[in-house]
């Protein structure tokens, strides 16, 4: 039974211990929570500033692209580059604006025969060049029915993409359409404006601001490319909004024949803007019905819905550096079907983008700076950005920043987690923990970014909050540690001297070697009859009384420069120390002893039923003060014969009936005080006698009565030392009659009677041995 009881008891302690540990941990976490919340709020506040968005795009998004690296571009888009190689092969000017437009007519015919789904020219055709060539180009476009031309925009300087280019919109002055025969022959025209170097291109407009929200040519190309599922899209729209679907052409042929692609795109966008829930409902309907599409992937319909229901600005999800999108020179595209050497891609069902190559762009200063721009100055061309945007739309892989609500949660939680970590940890753990957490977060963000283009914030959490968490955590811990240290110092000062506290604070490891030998005056004081007093009072009453007693008696010691070393029970131990013997220290100790005696008299006068008579003794000599102990326990204190002698002298007071005694060593070279020699005593346990004096008062307080009494007592003591017992006894009586405090006189009268009966030895030198402490 005992064993089972013990087992049960032992088992019950484990949950209790765990409960205590949990409570302690929760207490520490709650203590660190304010810093975490502060960092979270700081991150949230900084997120509202433009510089934060700028750095998030430049640094955060750029880092994610670098970590993800180059990836395989979809094969749906092909870039045909207008480059220097083609100008040499075709024997035409380097300036593409001066190329014969009959070349473009040939290219459109070739691509149409190859089955290209849509052809987009990122070239401005604003005026007529050669009438015959213009007619050929217009006829080719009219026949192909799938060519998109670029509109030119006359605008003020476009601000940078990273510095708020999309927060501060373009102020478009005029849309400049292509040469009229070309505009009428093309399936559609559309603008596509990007910020120039030195601004980094991170976003583009799907619907160009400042032009009545006209769709840009990646969007128009996307709509033309997916015309095979146009009827399916209309049927899907009818399931949720029949009246809205009725406003649109019923089939793709009508749209293409009327050259109304741009208008239809704009109308569909208006329908989605009028009903913000339409995108979500259509996606749900697609997922539920799996959309009855005969030949084209269901994903095209979903991508169309996402385009029209999404923002008018999209982040570009680059696949890599210039040339990552399948790219062939212009001249090789013209050789299609001619059996010339050199492999060319399959153009059937592809979206073709024709524009300047990166090298020619650099020469014309028409290139664009992106995250994959190369150090050699070869940047990506606008036509490849357009092809990349098209591929993003087609596969719904544009970079998608997390929603505002999710962003706020991430920033707040990251601030809380890093703040708590750095607040609770040591310096090393805080550094390693913050770095480890940041790497894990960055890895998770990169994995998500590579998977579906989701963009978690990088700059604010990793470049602002994490360093701030470490710095503020270390600073907060330093401040709190310093505050705790001050509290500890203050608490220690109640038990040990300030200088000892300072030594411990500087070098607690070397505590064993922290003591030193000094010269000092040692004061010892205790209460007569304290044992009897403690028997009569309960501990609480006694404690309160001693608090008041020490408050009264310690003040004069501190006031006179004394170092209070120890309080034990009713006793006080204090010293005045220096590296060399100093009369000033001795005088301070004497004055402190006199003031202490006066303070006791005043204190006792304030008491009704209790009296605390106090005995004081002062001795001077070498003293060791420091820490003594071993292992895990040390105690600060004084060691040496000086301390022991002061304690023995204090006990001598009760025999002599005195209050304050000092040794001859104290009075050497000391002035300013009045004393009375009491004789030579051999204290218990000592081998050398001491000349003891009673400390009477300050020199300025000396009066004639005291002078006469002291002289009488000195005569009596002289007779005592000569062994003239009767003469000495008579003079001690005379001293009492003269008003001298009679304690010491009574001691000698009694001693004279004793020596009459048992005289000391012949060689006696007046030394009085004491057998008791």
pLDDT in tens, 474-532: 888 888 878 877 777 777 666 666 666 666 666 555 555 566 788 889 999 999 888 88
Does residue 141 surpass a pLDDT of 80? Answer: yes
Measure Cα distances from 382 to 50, 159, 362 in Å: 26, 17, 11
State the Cα–Cα distance between residues 455 and 129, nearest whole angstrom: 47
What burial class does residue 356 get, using C-beta atoms within 10 Å of its C-beta: 0-12 exposed, 13-18 middle, 19+ buried? buried
The DSSP letter of residue 463 is: I
User: In this predicted structure, what is the pLDDT of residue 408?
Assistant: 94
pLDDT in tens, 84-133: 889 989 999 888 888 999 999 999 999 999 999 999 999 999 899 899 99
- Calculate the average pLDDT of the chain: 84
pTM: 0.68
Measure Cα distances from 479 to 37, 474, 554 in Å: 19, 9, 33
Confidence of residue 173 (pLDDT cuts 50, 70, 90): low
Query: Closest Cα partner for 168 from 47, 45, 54, 265?
Result: 54
User: In this predicted structure, what is the pLDDT of residue 262?
Assistant: 92
Q: Between vectors from CA 732 to CA 667 and to CA 590, what angle results, nearest 5°? A: 20
State the Cα–Cα distance between residues 463 and 339, nearest whole angstrom: 57
Q: Report the range of poorest mean pLDDT among 165-174, 184-193, 595-604.
A: 165-174
DSSP readout, 77-121?
Answer: EEEEEE-HHHHHHHT--SSGGGS-HHHHHHHHHHHHHHT-SEEEE
User: In this predicted structure, what is the pLDDT of residue 504?
Assistant: 60
The percent of residues in the chain predicted with pLDDT above 90, rounded, is: 43
State the Cα–Cα distance between residues 354 and 138, nearest whole angstrom: 16
User: In this predicted structure, what is the pLDDT of residue 187?
Assistant: 93
Q: Report the range of poorest mean pLDDT among 54-63, 135-144, 488-497, 517-526.
A: 488-497
Pick the residue with more confidence: 4 or 465? Answer: 465
Measure Cα distances from 325 to 63, 85, 297, 385 in Å: 21, 19, 22, 9
User: In this predicted structure, what is the pLDDT of residue 192?
Assistant: 84
DSSP readout, 411-437?
Answer: HHHHHHHHHHHHHHS-HHHHHHHHHHH
pLDDT in tens, 17-28: 566 667 666 777
Confidence of residue 7 (pLDDT cuts 50, 70, 90): very low
State the Cα–Cα distance between residues 682 and 655, nearest whole angstrom: 13
The DSSP letter of residue 259 is: T
Query: Taking a C-beta distance cutoff of 8 angstroms, is the pair 735, 712 a contact?
Result: yes
Largest CA distance in the chain: 159
What burial class does residue 155 get, using C-beta atoms within 10 Å of its C-beta: 0-12 exposed, 13-18 middle, 19+ buried? middle
pLDDT in tens, 257-271: 989 999 999 999 999
Measure Cα distances from 711 to 147, 356, 655, 707 in Å: 134, 124, 22, 6
User: In this predicted structure, what is the pLDDT of residue 224?
Assistant: 95
Does residue 585 surpass a pLDDT of 80? Answer: yes
Confidence of residue 640 (pLDDT cuts 50, 70, 90): confident
Q: Which residues, 6+ apart, have CB-to-CB distance to 551 below 8 Å? A: none
What burial class does residue 648 get, using C-beta atoms within 10 Å of its C-beta: 0-12 exposed, 13-18 middle, 19+ buried? buried
User: In this predicted structure, what is the pLDDT of residue 5?
Assistant: 45
Pick the residue with more confidence: 197 or 123? Answer: 123
Query: Taking a C-beta distance cutoff of 8 angstroms, is the pair 125, 131 a contact?
Result: no
Tokens linked to 647: 């304690």
| Average pLDDT over every residue of 664-693 | 90
User: In this predicted structure, what is the pLDDT of residue 170?
Assistant: 44
| Average pLDDT over every residue of 320-346 | 80
Does residue 136 surpass a pLDDT of 80? Answer: yes
DSSP readout, 216-254?
Answer: PHHHHHHHHHTGGGHHHHHHHHHHH-HHHHTTS-SSHHH
Confidence of residue 165 (pLDDT cuts 50, 70, 90): very low
Confidence of residue 455 (pLDDT cuts 50, 70, 90): very high
Query: Taking a C-beta distance cutoff of 8 angstroms, is the pair 193, 239 a contact?
Result: no
Buried b (16+ CB within 10 A) or exposed e, 185-216: bbbbbbbbbbbbbebbbbbbbbbbbbbeebbb
Does residue 293 surpass a pLDDT of 80? Answer: no
Confidence of residue 380 (pLDDT cuts 50, 70, 90): confident
């Amino acid at each position: 039974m005992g064993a089972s009881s013990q087992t049960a008891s032992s088992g019950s302690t484990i949950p209790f211990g765990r409960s205590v540990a949990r409570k302690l941990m929760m207490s520490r976490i709650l203590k660190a929570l304010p810093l975490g919340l502060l960092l979270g709020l700081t991150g949230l506040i900084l997120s509202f500033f433009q510089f934060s968005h700028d750095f998030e795009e430049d640094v955060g998004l750029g880092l994610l692209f670098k970590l993800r690296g180059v990836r395989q571009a979809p094969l749906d888009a092909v870039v045909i580059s207008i480059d220097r190689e083609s100008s040499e092969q075709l024997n035409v000017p380097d300036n593409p604006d001066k190329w014969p437009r009959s070349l473009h007519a040939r290219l459109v015919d070739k691509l149409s025969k190859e089955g290209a789904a849509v052809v987009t020219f990122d070239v401005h055709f604003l005026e007529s060049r050669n009438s015959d060539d213009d007619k050929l180009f217009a006829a080719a476009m009219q026949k192909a029915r799938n060519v998109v031309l670029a509109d030119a925009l006359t605008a003020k300087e476009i601000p940078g993409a990273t510095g708020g280019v999309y927060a501060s919109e373009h102020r478009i002055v005029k849309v400049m359409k292509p040469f009229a025969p070309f505009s009428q022959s093309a399936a559609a025209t559309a603008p596509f404006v990007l910020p120039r170097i030195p601004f980094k291109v991170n976003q583009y407009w799907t619907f160009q601001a400042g032009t009545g929200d006209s769709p840009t040519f990646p969007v128009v190309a996307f709509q033309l490319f997916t015309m095979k599922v146009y009827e399916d899209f209309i049927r899907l729209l009818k399931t949720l909004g029949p009246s809205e679907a009725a406003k649109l052409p019923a089939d793709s042929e009508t749209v293409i024949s009327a050259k109304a692609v741009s208008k239809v795109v704009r109308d569909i966008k208006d329908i989605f803007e009028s009903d913000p829930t339409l995108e979500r409902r259509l996606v749900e309907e697609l997922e539920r019905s799996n959309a009855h599409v005969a030949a084209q992937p269901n994903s095209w319909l979903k991508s169309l819905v996402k385009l029209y229901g999404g923002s008018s600005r999209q982040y570009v999800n680059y696949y890599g550096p210039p040339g990552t999108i399948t790219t062939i020179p212009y001249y090789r595209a013209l050789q299609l079907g001619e059996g010339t050497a050199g492999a060319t891609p399959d153009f059937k069902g592809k979206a073709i983008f024709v524009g300047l190559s990166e090298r020619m762009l650099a020469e014309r200063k028409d290139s664009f700076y992106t995250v994959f721009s190369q150090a050699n100055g070869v940047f990506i061309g606008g036509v490849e950005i357009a092809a990349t945007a098209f591929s993003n739309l087609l596969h719904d892989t544009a970079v998608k920043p997390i929603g505002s609500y999710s962003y706020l949660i991430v920033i707040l939680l990251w601030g809380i987690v890093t703040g708590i970590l750095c607040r609770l940890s040591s310096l090393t753990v805080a550094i390693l923990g913050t770095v480890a957490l940041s790497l894990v977060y960055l890895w998770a963000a990169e994995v998500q970014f590579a998977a579906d283009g989701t963009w978690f914030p990088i700059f604010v959490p990793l470049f602002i909050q994490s360093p701030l968490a470490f710095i503020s955590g270390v600073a907060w811990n330093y401040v709190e540690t310093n505050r705790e240290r001050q509290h500890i110092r203050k608490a220690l000062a109640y038990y040990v001297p300030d200088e000892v506290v300072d030594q411990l604070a500087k070098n607690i490891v070397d505590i064993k070697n922290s003591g030193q030998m000094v010269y000092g005056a040692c004061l010892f004081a205790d209460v007569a009859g304290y044992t009897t007093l403690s028997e009569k009072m309960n501990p609480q009453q006694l404690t309160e009384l001693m608090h008041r007693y020490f408050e009264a008696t310690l003040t004069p010691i501190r006031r006179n420069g004394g170092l209070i070393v120890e309080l034990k029970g009713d006793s006080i131990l204090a010293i005045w120390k220096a590296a060399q013997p100093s009369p000033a220290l001795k005088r301070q100790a004497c004055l402190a002893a006199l003031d202490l005696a006066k303070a006791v008299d005043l204190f006792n006068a304030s008491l009704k039923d209790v009296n605390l008579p106090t005995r004081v003794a002062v001795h001077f000599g070498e003293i060791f003060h420091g820490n003594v102990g071993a292992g895990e326990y040390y105690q600060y204190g004084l060691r040496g014969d000086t301390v022991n002698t002061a304690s023995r002298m204090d006990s001598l007071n009760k025999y002599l009936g005195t209050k304050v005694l000092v040794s001859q060593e104290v009075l050497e070279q000391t002035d300013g005080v009045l004393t009375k020699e009491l004789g030579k005593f051999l204290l218990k346990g000592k081998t050398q006698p001491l000349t003891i004096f009673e400390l009477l008062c300050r020199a300025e307080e000396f009066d004639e009565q005291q002078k006469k009494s002291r002289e009488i007592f000195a005569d009596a003591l002289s007779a005592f030392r000569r062994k003239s017992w009767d003469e000495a006894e008579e003079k001690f009586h005379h001293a009492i009659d003269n008003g001298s405090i009679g304690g010491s006189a009574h001691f000698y009268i009694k001693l004279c009677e004793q020596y009459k009966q048992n005289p000391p030895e012949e060689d006696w030198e007046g030394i009085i041995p004491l057998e008791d402490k």
